[in-house]
Every structure is written in structure tokens, then in C-alpha cells.
Structure 1
């Protein structure tokens, strides 16, 4: 019984681990499934509605209604900018209104159209505000305040609608009496009033651990409430005015249905709530179905897609102008925010262009326009229809490459947009969609300098969010086609019918080809290995010799471990070594060679890293690198302290050296002896050294690590002199010796010994080595870095410093941080700080994770 329960527990644990590992994919699958459910619900609601009726209802929409909807939409988006402006003041980081407006406008246009507001809108807001100096925590606070205000507005507007209801409220099958509606509205308003009441009584916000969310003052809460009510009221009114025959008495029901549809769109995470929003509105509202569906289509165009296009024009215009200005201009806050947002908006517009081509290919062409094409060969019309749909799928697939700023993605998207516009004209004189595609093409062309990175269009890692959006777009086009041709009975003969007015057969062929293309592309991406960055230059012996000769650092010898890539100076007298872990390029230590070459090497590496969309990170850099970190826009984190022993003052005399004297005495009493083996003598004792090394690794359950340490390999070990401790003729401990090219610094790399060594044996090795260094004439001995040592964890220190200090003091079971510092302190060293240089914001966490993986990777 116990074994059965344990097995069940293990099985459940495995399932949970699998769910956690695949949660991103599962969320995408769930969103696609819910989108399909929304399309199915729309199909059921519109089963008696035909495309011709919807087209007639759109054509009958009075122009003044469209103009009024445009005006109300503008008022709603203008009100949206107030969320960020007020939120920034509430957290004490006010920005010029134009910056807050740009961030807010682009954030909401993206989240409205793509869904997943925290990822899409939040990412856009973060990009914009990071460009003007705000931290991730600041952006999270602003986003949280804006989100709380928005949903408070949704509840408030629904409450007002319930209170204003003159009669029974009916939402589909839900019926709510007048008294119940009024009571429900009052209860919701009372619940919302609890927030300003608590603020008046002294509530200052929410704190979780070290994270704090300040509450705005009463004036700020009132301003946010007013902004949210204006935003939602004008947005709902923009829809209401497009529905013919709706009166003031119908407004409470429409407002409630609108709030419910917004909630359904957010909960389901369907991109833009497309299908779900319309299904809820069609189910909840009574009236003429074709007219209501036509109003929803117009609303989708006016309130969702048109602002997205305007945001793209605005941001790309600012960014394109900045790229064309002389150096030294275009550095305003607005310019920096636009620069961060431009690729994302262009990507979304290109994706929208692909969606337009797919949906257009699923709908029948206008008969009068098709009649004008009878002068063209039928194969050209048929081929253009099929090519247009395939170009639409290709635009969906190329969007991630644009988002990664790949130059190849730009060229492919430009060709597809131009081809799509031509195909739209040839397949049915669809000049409206051709015009949209050409506008997107112009925006893409205007921002061409933003796409400069190298790489293949399908070589980027598979992004499940983009794939899910692409599948949802394909599903929308299929739904549109089946809705348009619901009265056409299916027959196998349809696949082989070719005629100028053969819209249904063209839809079937184009949809099948689009589905095959999408499936093939996803399958190819799953099978394709991740694109590897360029290997970097090899390190020639001549370059290594010249660079090392000018280096004051002994750890420059890590260049010979074989686990590095290199950037070499143009003069061939300096190099920089780095490794690549996932997307992070990790530079090991300082550049090697004359200081005058450092900037050249660092910037060359930065450009190569950026060209493939990588993250640049520095590990164990000295204080001399801090000015370059500032130039590169990196943040410096103190990694620990390096122990340097001035050999001129080293002595075993005095009370501080008591432990060293005792260890040396014990080692000599045990019969141990010390010797320095020249590199020519090392091959003869290499078998003994390997036995010691293998035993040392086996005892600790460790493996070779070739990034920040050397590895026991014949080619590496025979490059250096080796210090050995013998018990009789047998080697029981060793350390290979590093020296700097300028002859001033002495150090060791691999330090390994047999188990059961006499007490003080390693102290003995170091003491003898230090005295040997004194005699030879070295200036100082480098004992290496004590990680997390010397970091101030004061209450006013940043969060990362507090965490590092806590780990140093309490993390002995993970790594002997304090023990290592104590061992090195016995030699009375001078401590020098060493740093990590990492990107700002969210990229820092990913870079540090990759850094840990690289340092611990097998050599």
C-alpha cells in the first residue's frame, strides 16, 4: 500500500513538473482552443445570418455614425493616456505627458489587438519607460495602477448601468429584475468606495516583502476613476452609435454586455478577444443580427485596428526621423521611447497585413469587380488568389524575425507585402486591402535601419506565442470562409472547379495550401536546431604572445583552456575572450593587452553580440572596466573580492602567520616535500598528476569546468610550470602556476590533492610557493576571488546586495563562501573588488542565469 501511494505521488510530481516545463505551450494551446470555441459560438449565433446581409448592413451604415464612432474612439484613447500620467505621479516618477501618452497609447493598442495585456502591453510599456530611465519595479507599479483603475472603471460603469436600468435587465438567458439590478449596482459601488475610504483612513498601499505598491492620494484615486469612466463610456458609446435603432433605454444592457465581453476576452487570453468578444455581444444583445454583427465588425476596425495603424505611423515616423538625423540629435525622451517601441509595432502591423490577406482570401470577391477581370487569363486570377493566401501565412511566420530585428526578415517581409498588394488587385481588384498592405510596406521601408541583425528568417527559436497567434489567425480565416459559404453544399468536385466566379473552390484550395504551409513551417522550426552565433576569431600564438606580454593579469592564461571564443584587435596585439550560453555572450575577465585597445575590443564584441540578438555580460571584471560598463549601458554588480598578497611584505613572522607556521611545521613533520617542476618536466609526472586529479574530482563528485577555471588536459597542463607536494616519491598535491606577461603577478589555477592529506599540506604548498615567488622577483601573488565577499548588505543597499550578503552569511551548504574568505584571509591579502557587468531590466536575470550555467558547464 505504501509503495502504491508513493508511486502515485511520484507520478503526480512528474505530471506537475511536466506541466510547469510546458506551461507556455499549454497556455498557447488553451488560447487557440478558446479562440476556436469563440468562432464556433459565433457560427451558432449567426447560423441564420448570411454574408450578403452583413455586407448590406455595413453599406447602409450612415456616414455620420462612422464619424461619431471615430470621434468617440479618439476620446477614449485620449483618456487612456491619463492612466499612465497619473500613475507616474503616484509613484513619484512623473514624466512629460508626451512620453506617458506614447507609452500608454502603444501599450493599449497592442494589448487590445493581441491580448495577454501583461505580456504585450506590459512589454511595450516597459520598453518605452526603460528608455527614459525608469526601473522594472517602476513600470510594474504604473502598469498595476493602470490595470486596477481600468477594471475598477469596468465595474463602476457596470454598476452605473445597473442602477440606471429602467426595466428588467436581460442578457441572453440571464434575467435580472429592476430591484435586483439596482441593488447589485449599489453593492458594487459601495465595494469600489472602500478604496478611497481606506485611503482616507491612512492606508498607504500594499507591501509584499521588499516590494511596495503605493496607493495614490484621494485626488489621484478620483482622477483615475474619472479617467476610467470616460475611457469606458466613450468606448462603449463608439459601439452603441454603430448599432442602428438602439435607444437610451437599451444602453444599460449594452454597457453590461460590453463589460462582460471585455472580461471574457481577458480571461480567455485570446488575441484581441477576437471571436470571444463578438460571441458574447451577439449572445447577450437582442435585435437585428446582421446589423449587430456589421456594427461589431466596424467597431473592430475603428476601435482596434485603426489605432494600431496610427500608433505604427506615429512611432515609426519618430524613429525613422531619428535614424535620419545627424549624430547628436534625436536623443529626447520621446525619441528614445519611440526607438524602443518601433520594431514591435512594425512587427504587429506586418502580422496584421498577413491576417488581412488570409481573411480576404477566404471571402468571396465582389461580382462587379470580378467581372472587370475577365480580360485576364483565368490561371492568373486563380494563381493570384492562392499566392495571396500563401503570402498571408508567410507574413505571419516572418513576424518573429522582424521582432528580432533581422535584416533578412525585413527583406522577406517587404517582398511579401508588395507581392500581397499585387495579388490583391489581380484576384479581385481588392484595392482597399492593397492600400493597407502598401501603407504597412511604407512604414516598414521607412524604419529599415532598425533591422540590422544577422540570421535566417526561420532560424530564430520557436516562439509559441507567435505560433499560437498565427494559428488563431488561420482559424479566423477558416471561420470567415465557412460563414461566407454556408449555403454552398460541400462536394469533392469543388476542389477541381475553376471559374471566374468560383469563390468557394478557391477558398478550399487556398485554405488547404495555407494550412499545409503553416504546418510545414512549424514542423521545420521544431526540427531545426538553434542557430549558432558566429564562432569568433581564432587566437593565434603570435597574437596571444603579444597580448600576454603587455598584460598585468595572470588569469589571461584562461585563453588556453579551449572553451573560449575571441575578439582580436586590428593590430593583433590584444584580445578579448568570451563564451556563449544560450543568448548571453559572457566575457571572461578584462581584455588582454594594452589598455588603449580595450574600448575597441569591447565595442567590437558588443556589435557582434547585438547583430545576432544576444545579451552581453562580463564576469570577474576589474574596477578598470567600470567606465566601459557605463559607456555600454551595462549595470555593474559586485561579484566578490580578489585576494592579492604583496610578496615584498610577506613573512611568516608575527602573530598573523601563526596558523601558516603551524601548518608548514606539521607538513614537514609528516615527511612532505615541495618542488617546482618546469613545463619541460611536467610530461614525465603527468600520469601521477592525473591520478591525483581524478581522485580529487571523484571525492567531491565534481567534473571539469573550463570557463573560469582550467581543465586537466595534457595540452593545457604542459604549458605551465607546476608546484608539487610529494610524500616520498609520490605526488600527493599539485597546482599549475600562472604568471602575468609583465612578470609581476603570480597565481595558480588547478589546485588538487589526494584525500587523507596531512593537516596543513595546502598551507605548506602556498607558503613555499609564495617564498619562491619572492625569490624569483614577482610583485604579488593572486589568491583568486572570494565570491560574494565584501558586499554591503545595509538596509539602504539595493535588493541584489542584500540577497548576496544573506547568501554569503548563510549559504555554506551551497558553497563555502565564508570558509573560502577565511582561508584566504590567513595570508593577510589586499582585497580588490571584482564585478559582473549585466544588462538592465529583465535581461539581467536571464543573463545571470546563463552566467551560472556557463561557469558550471563541463569543460
Structure 2
């Protein structure tokens, strides 16, 4: 009973894992704000404002220099890690990847997702594979934490007085013992690492580890010192206790998973350093947020926007294409963070009292109702920016248009509500950066589709919670009464805060209701082919496998804005997309995001099957895991010839087939129907000989309605058809291929070789560019010692699975035609979702659950 209950709880937790994590993060944020409120119970808001104004400009300059030093060290993490794994890159590339990665992870949290995605896009564009990127991230992360531990140990050794942390006191002797133990452990760990020439690739050498440790120590010392110099009254003698509090606050913030550690980091610092005056420390923390977090984020956004602009003006070449790919992948993430920060600025500003002098000036220019309305409008604009930031990350053009408009409107409202020109300048700067990166937001969508989604609710809730806490803290001396809601006065800041908060709540409820009760798409996707839409889409496709649209076993999702579609089917809980989308490349992102959102709404999992390199960046954007499925063989027909030693076996097969009386013919599709009885006899004999059922989804089946759509290549022997294949050809004659290939047992030796050779010659005469021989599953998968498990299993099946499929033999057969090989991939959810999706894929390709059941019944009957 207990065991079954535990299993049920685990299943429930696994099913609702994301919801549980979201609730946990919100609770952590709530506890952080509650702790801040309790720690600052005796502090008046004016004291914090006075402390902020009292920060010495020289201290600000020192903090800026220390911040620059810290970020300089952060770039060196990647430089050393890349050399350690044997994949060094130019400093400019490594520094760019590290800087953008750390600015994102510092401000948004979830370092592996936010910063990791930026590193992945930049490094893969520079030639690294996913494993190399993971190794770089892992080394940098381990170096950071080792630096925290070692620097804490050094601080404990150097501190001679009793150490007070959050009300606890540690004697000097105990400090020295702990610090010494940490130092000895670090030295032993370094000594155990191998030398440069004896290390495995997964580990850094002793020299690299020492370099990373030194970089981490300097980085952390500079980062913590940047905060220390901002606190009035703080001195160098306080550094050991200050750094230990700083390190503990970082750990607490990371464990809480609150975006950017907002509220949690500040509460931890205030609790751990009671010897510093809370107003001065909180003022220093606010200034530190601006200098160490937001300023680098703005700088990264500016650099990316300028780089994006520069790349768009360059002539198109390979290097410019790679750079543009990187820019378009990283700029939206940074700009989304900046827009989100702009929304937070508007919300927090709306929760703070206005400057009396500016308000007095404003009362001589505009009437009070104008100010009241502008205050609410500014808060609503900030809320809109929070909701739009995730859509900017998805590169939606509607989000770009709305965000730009709200930034400009927010700047105008900031001036109108209190002459807050500082925040107006910030918002206009973000709008300018957004405009510079206009080309990065290329995904067309409806305006209403750009609003926030349930998955982005946690950071939005934290941001709004921060603004509400700031408001209640700022006006905690105000007696809250019912009359306060209806008080309209020039100095009625508390009333304006309450009304703006209510307006924000109403706006959020409206958005939630709009999404909850939006008119659902009740139409069941049809498996019938829309002839006109299919013909238009296929006309834009350079790939012959787009003809799978005519097999009759797929559903279709069409682009609302252009002649494009994708083919998919639902098997179990898996939504399986067949190949790349068909049609104009510009419509691919919209289609894939649409299918991603539909599968998610249906609590399904998305799998992209046999996608090419063209679709790989989009699969990464969708958050899917890439698995190499195999390699595709294509023969360039312009240079195809049977001359040369490597074509000896094909020459022999062709001559022998002709000598034995075989003949080749292309039957036009209008003449295929009368041959259907002969073709069916060949097909049935082939299926019986192989012991196979008809396959589905990724290949056609013997269906007269399907076969009569295409020309048919046939081989005759003594007047009888002994082999056939339906012929796929693209409209622009880019590619030629075959789908259904069947032959009788009585066919002469080398009949299929003869069919392929003759068909390639015919295709060359007809002006086709390529002949597609199809896939060799599991081909080209590396099984090195550090390769992922799926790669090692796939390679094992490829080498030793001949009895199951004949993987290696299929590759060897296609190799006879001297093809060009290109990789094809499967993109699926991470973890267990991948295995489940692959099981559903096998069921679907095998003909569906009905086919599996039918084979089982036949086996039992036998």
C-alpha cells in the first residue's frame, strides 16, 4: 500500500513537474520579499533614498572598474575551457559567447537554459558540436564554484577577528582550521589532476584547472568588491565577512531559482551582515543591481544590435551568413531581457513616490487628471512589456511592433506622470536597440498571439510582486483606508500606486481570461490532400520527399501567411512531423511554432522526423534534443557516369540485365492505371517474400490512388513487368527519386541496379540536378568514448544489427553509386520523452497500432 502510494506520488510529481517547480519558485520569491519586509521593518523609505543619494561618485567609479574587471575574467573562463578541450577559438568569439551568456544568466537565472542557449548558438556556428559546448559550460561552472570555495577558505584564513554572520559568531581558531582544510583539499584535488599530455578530453589538465581557479578567484573578488565599495562605511577589513555573506547569498539565490535572485539575494545579504546599516546596505544593493547586472545587459544589447546592423549591411557570404545566424539567435534573447527590464522599471517607478520638485513643476503644465491617467497608463505599459518579452525571445514580428510602441508610449507617460526623464531615456534607448535589430524578428504572427504564455508566468509574477512590495514598503507609513482609493491629489502617491496596482491586476486577469476562453480551434485536421494548396507548396520545394503529402496517411498544417505546409500525424501522445516543412523557407518558423504550441496544448510531445540541416536551428529554438538518425545519399546527375573502376559492379549489372533480356521503360502517369494488376502481383510477391506488412508515414504503400499520381519506372523481362518504382520529381527539376520499389523473384540478376542506373540516365537527360537514393539509417553516427549513450547504441546497431535490418549493407549498396552523403536528424523532447516519442514513431512507421495487432494475431495463429 505504501509502495503503491509512493509510486502514485512520483507519477503525479512527474506529470506536474513544471507546475510544482513554478509554485516552488513563486514561494521562494514570496519568502524573499517577506524576509525583506521583516528586515526593513524599522527602516523608513526616506532613509534608503538618502543613502542612495549619499553614494560617493568615486565609489561608483570604483564599482564600475571592478565590474569591468569581473566581466573580463568571465570571458577568460571560456578561453581556458576551450583550450582545455582542444578546441581553441579566437578570443573575440569566446569573449562574445561568455559575455552574452553571463549577462543573460545573471539577469534571468536558469543559467543552463538562458546562458547555455547563447553559448550553444555561438559555438556551434563556430564549428563546435553540442558535446564540446556542454564541456565548456561544465568547466566554467565548476571553476566558478571552486573559486567560491577556495576564496572563502582564503578569507577564513586571513580573518583574525571573530567572524559574525547573521547573528552567529565563529572563533578565529575555528575559522583558520576550516580555511586551512579547504585550502589543503583544493591543493590535493589539483595534484590528482593529470598533466597536459596524459589527460582525457573530459578533464582539464592541472595547468588549465589552476588557471581556471585563478580566474574564478579574481572574478569573485572583483564582483564582491564592487558591492563592498558601494556600501558607505565598509572597509577592506570587512572583506572576509563580506565575501562569505556574498557567497552564501549567491548560493541561496541559485537554489531558490528566482529569476536574477531578485529579493532573495538582497534579503540574504541583509540577514548575513547585521553589522552594516540596513539603509546603506540596501542602497548599495540597488546600485549594485544597476551597475553589475543591468548595465552589462544594456551593453550586450547595444553590441548585438550594432553587430546585427553591420551584418545586414555586408554582402552575403559564408562568414556573414554564420555571423547573421549567431546574431539572430542571440540578439532576441538579450533584447527580450532588456524589454522585460524596461517593464520592471515602469512598474517599480509607478510604485515609488514622485519627486516633489518635478511634480510642482508639472502642475503648472498639465492638469491633475492627465497625470493620474499617465500614471496608470505607464504601469499598464510596463505590464505589457513583461507579457511581450517572451514573444520577443521567439522572434515574433507582432511582439516587436507592440514592444516598440509600448516603449515609446511608456517613455511619454513617464514624463507626463512626474517628469521621470531618466526612465524615459532608458525606455527610448531600449526602443532604439530594438529598432536596430529589426531583422531578427522575422516570424509573422497575429498581434494577439504575441501575449505571454502560462510558462512565462513565473518571471512576470516575480516582477509584479517586486513592484507591489516596493509600493507597500514605500507607503508603509500611510494609513490605508477606503477613502485612499478615491483620493485624487498632487501629492497622492499612495493612491496612485493603489489604483495602478488594481489596473495591473485587471489587465492580467483580462489576458488570462482571453487565453483561457479564447475560441478553440475545433476543426479536426484532415488527411485529405488539398490539391491546390499541395501543388502550390510542392512548387516551392526543392526536395522530392515532399511527395509524401499524397500518401493519404498524414494531417496537414498550413501556413496562414504563405504557400507552405508541414505533414504530421498523431500517434499516442506524440505529434510526429515528417521531414522539413514544404514550401517557402520564410514560413517554416511559423509552422513549426504552431505545431509546437498545438502539441503542447494537447499535452503531447513533438518529434521532428528526418529533418535536414536547414531545419536544425529551428529545432534548437523549439527546445528539442537533436539525435542523428542517419545519412542521406544524393547523386549529382550532371556528372553521373558508369566510367571508372568504382562503377565496375554497376556496369556489370547493367550489361548482364540487358543480356538476359531486361528492358527499362518510363510509364507516364496517365498510363499507369491499366498496369495496376501487373504491378499489384509484383508487389504482393515482394511482400510475401520479405514477410513484411505495408509500411506507412515515411514511405508510400501500394495504393492505386497514390501510384497513379506519378510516372512509374518499370523493368520488363520477356514482356512481363518484374520490377517497378513510382518516380518522384520536383517541379523545378531540382531532385529526382523513387518511393515504392518492388521486384519479383523471377527478376534477372541486378534488376534493381539496372533500374536505378537507367532512371539516373533518364533523369540526367530530363535536366534533373540530383537523384536521391534515400536514407541509410544510423549511418555516420560516431561512437567515441565520450559520445552520448544514444550514439553508442545507434552505432552498435549499425555494426551488429544486420539480422534486424541490414543497416551496414544498405549503406554499402548506396555507396556503389558514389553519392554525396548529408546528415538527417530526429528532434524530440529531452530525457524519457525522447524514448517514448521514438516508440510512437516506430508504431506509426510500422503501419500504426492496427498493423502491430494484426501481426501479433498472425503470429499466434501460426
* CA separation of 1:518 and 1:183: change in aligned 2, threshold 3 A: same
> 5+ residue gaps in structure 1?
207-211, 569-574, 589-600, 654-676, 723-734, 752-764
- Listed one character per residue, the Cα deviations across residues 724-765 of structure 1 (whole Å, up to 9, x for unaligned) are xxxxxxxxxxx99746689xx9988599xxxxxxxxxxxxx8
Tell whether 2:567 aligns with 1:608. no
Are the counterparts in 1 of residues 355 and 418 from structure 2 also a CA contact under 8 Å?
yes
Q: Which residue of 2 aligns with 1:90?
A: 84
Are the counterparts in 2 of residues 586 and 851 from structure 1 also a CA contact under 8 Å?
no
Q: Distance in 2 between matches of 1:513 and 1:552?
A: 53
Q: Distance in 2 between matches of 1:721 and 1:341?
A: 47
Are the counterparts in 1 of residues 578 and 697 from structure 2 also a CA contact under 8 Å?
no
Q: Which residue of 2 aligns with 1:439?
A: 429
Are the counterparts in 2 of residues 717 and 736 from structure 1 also a CA contact under 8 Å?
no
Tell whether 2:245 aligns with 1:251. no
The structure 1 residue matched to 2:463, chosen from 445, 470, 473, is 473
The structure 2 residue matched to 1:507, chosen from 487, 490, 497, is 497
Tell whether 2:229 aligns with 1:238. no
Q: Distance in 1 between matches of 2:229 and 2:428?
A: 31
* CA separation of 1:566 and 1:155: change in aligned 2, threshold 3 A: closer
What SS is found at the alignment partner of 1:116? coil
The structure 1 residue matched to 2:361, chosen from 367, 372, 378, is 372
Q: Report matched runs for 1:544-693 at 5 Å.
A: 556=547, 559-561=550-552, 563=554, 579-580=567-568, 586-587=578-579, 605-610=584-589, 638-639=630-631, 649=656, 679=673
Q: Which has the larger radius of gyration?
A: 1
* CA separation of 1:811 and 1:706: change in aligned 2, threshold 3 A: same
Tell whether 2:330 aligns with 1:341. yes
* CA separation of 1:711 and 1:491: change in aligned 2, threshold 3 A: farther
What SS is found at the alignment partner of 2:97? helix
Q: Report matched runs for 1:830-845 at 5 Å.
A: 837-838=823-824
* CA separation of 1:406 and 1:201: change in aligned 2, threshold 3 A: closer
Residue range with higher mean Cα deviation, 523-532 or 172-181: 523-532
Q: Distance in 2 between matches of 1:520 and 1:839?
A: 41
Q: Which residue of 1 aligns with 2:277?
A: 288
Q: Distance in 2 between matches of 1:152 and 1:628?
A: 39
* CA separation of 1:746 and 1:495: change in aligned 2, threshold 3 A: closer
Q: Which residue of 2 aligns with 1:302?
A: 291
Q: Which residue of 2 aligns with 1:659?
A: none
C-alpha displacement at 1:471, in angstroms? Answer: 1.0
Tell whether 2:185 aligns with 1:191. yes
Q: Which residue of 2 aligns with 1:598?
A: none
C-alpha displacement at 1:843, in angstroms? Answer: 9.9
Q: Which residue of 2 aligns with 1:142?
A: 136
Q: Report matched runs for 1:151-550 at 5 Å.
A: 151-199=145-193, 213-218=202-207, 220-285=208-273, 286-328=275-317, 331=320, 337-375=326-364, 376-459=366-449, 466-525=456-515, 538-540=530-532
Q: Which residue of 1 aligns with 2:855?
A: none
- Listed one character per residue, the Cα deviations across residues 572-627 of structure 1 (whole Å, up to 9, x for unaligned) are xxx99952579986448xxxxxxxxxxxx98x543321455669999779xxx999
- Listed one character per residue, the Cα deviations across residues 350-399 of structure 1 (whole Å, up to 9, x for unaligned) are 11101111111111212222222224222221111111111111111111
Tell whether 2:70 aligns with 1:63. no
What SS is found at the alignment partner of 1:579? strand
* CA separation of 1:681 and 1:80: change in aligned 2, threshold 3 A: closer
Are the counterparts in 2 of residues 576 and 587 from structure 1 also a CA contact under 8 Å?
no
* CA separation of 1:159 and 1:748: change in aligned 2, threshold 3 A: closer
Q: Which residue of 2 aligns with 1:674?
A: none
Q: Distance in 1 between matches of 2:104 and 2:468?
A: 24
Are the counterparts in 1 of residues 47 and 279 from structure 2 also a CA contact under 8 Å?
yes
The structure 1 residue matched to 2:700, chosen from 700, 704, 709, is 709
Q: Distance in 2 between matches of 1:540 and 1:492?
A: 64
C-alpha displacement at 1:526, in angstroms? Answer: 5.3
The structure 1 residue matched to 2:744, chosen from 766, 774, 787, is 766
* CA separation of 1:204 and 1:293: change in aligned 2, threshold 3 A: farther
- Listed one character per residue, the Cα deviations across residues 425-446 of structure 1 (whole Å, up to 9, x for unaligned) are 1111111111110110110111
- Listed one character per residue, the Cα deviations across residues 784-808 of structure 1 (whole Å, up to 9, x for unaligned) are 9796376687769976764323235
C-alpha displacement at 1:313, in angstroms? Answer: 1.1
* CA separation of 1:158 and 1:514: change in aligned 2, threshold 3 A: same
Count of residues paired in the alignment: 760
Q: Distance in 2 between matches of 1:748 and 1:96?
A: 47
Are the counterparts in 2 of residues 620 and 834 from structure 1 also a CA contact under 8 Å?
no
Q: Distance in 2 between matches of 1:750 and 1:368?
A: 84
* CA separation of 1:336 and 1:48: change in aligned 2, threshold 3 A: same
Residue range with higher mean Cα deviation, 249-258 or 221-230: 221-230
What SS is found at the alignment partner of 1:118? coil
Q: Which residue of 1 aligns with 2:667?
A: none
What SS is found at the alignment partner of 1:807? helix
Are the counterparts in 2 of residues 789 and 817 from structure 1 also a CA contact under 8 Å?
no
C-alpha displacement at 1:854, in angstroms? Answer: 6.6
Are the counterparts in 2 of residues 679 and 720 from structure 1 also a CA contact under 8 Å?
no
Q: Report matched runs for 1:35-114 at 5 Å.
A: 35-114=29-108
Q: Distance in 2 between matches of 1:153 and 1:449?
A: 40
Q: Distance in 1 between matches of 2:756 and 2:270?
A: 84
C-alpha displacement at 1:156, in angstroms? Answer: 1.7
Q: Distance in 2 between matches of 1:341 and 1:626?
A: 19
Are the counterparts in 1 of residues 52 and 283 from structure 2 also a CA contact under 8 Å?
yes
C-alpha displacement at 1:85, in angstroms? Answer: 1.3
Are the counterparts in 2 of residues 455 and 612 from structure 1 also a CA contact under 8 Å?
no
* CA separation of 1:784 and 1:119: change in aligned 2, threshold 3 A: closer
What SS is found at the alignment partner of 1:638? strand
C-alpha displacement at 1:69, in angstroms? Answer: 1.2
Q: Distance in 2 between matches of 1:217 and 1:223?
A: 9
C-alpha displacement at 1:515, in angstroms? Answer: 2.5
* CA separation of 1:852 and 1:423: change in aligned 2, threshold 3 A: farther
